[in-house]
Amino acid sequence: MSNPLPLRLPPDVAVSVQSQFYSGMLLLPPDITDETSIFYKQIKPFDKKNYFRRFSLLFLFAFEPKMSPTKYEMIIVSTDGPVGIIRLNRPDALNALCRQLTTEVLQALKAFDTDRQIGAIVITGSDRAFAAGADIKEMYQKKLSDILNEDVLNWASEISSIRKPIIAAVNGYAFGGGCELAMMCDIIYAGEKAVFGQPEINLGVIPGAGGTQRLVKAVGKSKAMEICLTGNVNLRAQEAYAAGLVSGVYPVDKVFSHAVSVAKKISQQSQPAIAMIKSAINECKSPLHILTIEHY
C-alpha cells in the first residue's frame, strides 16, 4: 500500500473531521473511498476515549480547509515565514482580557492551526504588559447568569486543543488571566522586566481559567499555594525562571525576536511528530499519564 498522505479534503468535509477529532470521535467521511479510507479504517482505537490517537493527528495534517479572512479589532495578526504571530492590542487597558479579545485570540489560533504554511505560533503583548488580567469593568457589568451562559472557561480549553506549538513572549505584567494565558502556551519566554502573578483572591475570586492547575504543575504545590492564597506574591522574570515557570529570560527588546527564532526552528521539524509530542507531554501531566506512556 502506498503512503496515504497527502490527501486534500473539501473544506466542509475537513471542518467536519476536525470537529469530530476535537470531540474525541474521529470518523472518516463516507465519501472517501480510496485506499486512504481502507488504510485508516484498519486502524483500531486504543480505547474508548482515544480514537485514532496517533493516526488522527497525521490525518488532520492531510487537509487544508480554506478560511475566509477575519477582521480583528483587539489583536494584531501577522506572519514571519512559518510563524504565526498574535499581538494583544488593548494598550489603554494594559491588554486586559475581555470577551472580545479572548474570542479574537481563539479565532486567530484556530486559523493558524489549520494553515499548513504555519508551523508554530507566538503570542505577545506590549513592553508594558503582556496582559494585566481580566477586564474588571466588563465583569462588574455582567450578572452571574450572563457569565455562566457565556461559558467563559471554554476559550481556555479550546486554546489547549491547538495542535501547533504556542510560544508566549512576555514583557511587563502577566497577572491573573494574563498569567493564565501565558501558561496555556507550550513555552514561555520572559523579558527582564516581566512580572507574573495571580491576584484574584484580592477580589474574592479564584484563578478561573485553569490557573491553579497549571501553576502548580509549573512551580509546585507550595509556591502555587503561596501565590494564589496571598494574592501579593509576584514572580519577577528571574524568579519565574528559577521556579520553572518560564524557559528563559531575555532583554525586553530581544524576547520577542528570540521567541520567533525558536518558533522557526520548531517549524522545520515534522509537524505530525510535533503534534504528537505536544499531546504526549501535556497528557503526562494529567492523572492519566500512565495511559499516555502506553499510547506513545
CA 57 to chain centre: 16
Cell numbers placing 282: 501535556
Model pTM score? 0.73
Residue 285: what pLDDT? Answer: 58
Does 158 qualify as catalytic in the annotation?
no
Helix axes 211-219, 177-184, angle to 10 degrees: 60
- Which one from 104, 200, 239, 283 is the annotated catalytic residue? 200
- Which one from 125, 177, 178, 197 is the annotated catalytic residue? 177
Cell numbers placing 275: 503534534
Q: Which residues contact 151 (CB under 8 A, 6 or more apart)?
A: none
Does 180 qualify as catalytic in the annotation?
yes
Q: How confident is the model at residue 142 (pLDDT cuts 50, 70, 90)?
A: low
Residue 123 has pLDDT above 80, yes or no: yes
- Phi and psi of 235, rounded to 5°? -105, 115
What integer is the mean pLDDT of 184-198? 97
- Which one from 134, 168, 209, 259 is the annotated catalytic residue? 134
- Which one from 84, 176, 180, 239 is the annotated catalytic residue? 180
Domain ranges of the chain: 1-66, 75-267
Summarize pLDDT for 5-42 with one digit per residue, the tens: 344 444 544 444 454 444 444 444 444 444 444 444 44
Does 177 qualify as catalytic in the annotation?
yes
Runs of H (alpha helix) within 114-153: 136-140, 144-150
What integer is the mean pLDDT of 87-114? 94
Residue 63 has pLDDT above 70, yes or no: no
Distances (CA, A) of 96 to 177, 209, 231, 268: 8, 14, 18, 34
Instruction: Quickly name the fold that domain 75-267 has.
Output: 2-enoyl-CoA Hydratase; Chain A, domain 1 (3.90.226)
Does 200 qualify as catalytic in the annotation?
yes
Alpha-carbon distance of 71 to 238, in angstroms, equals 37
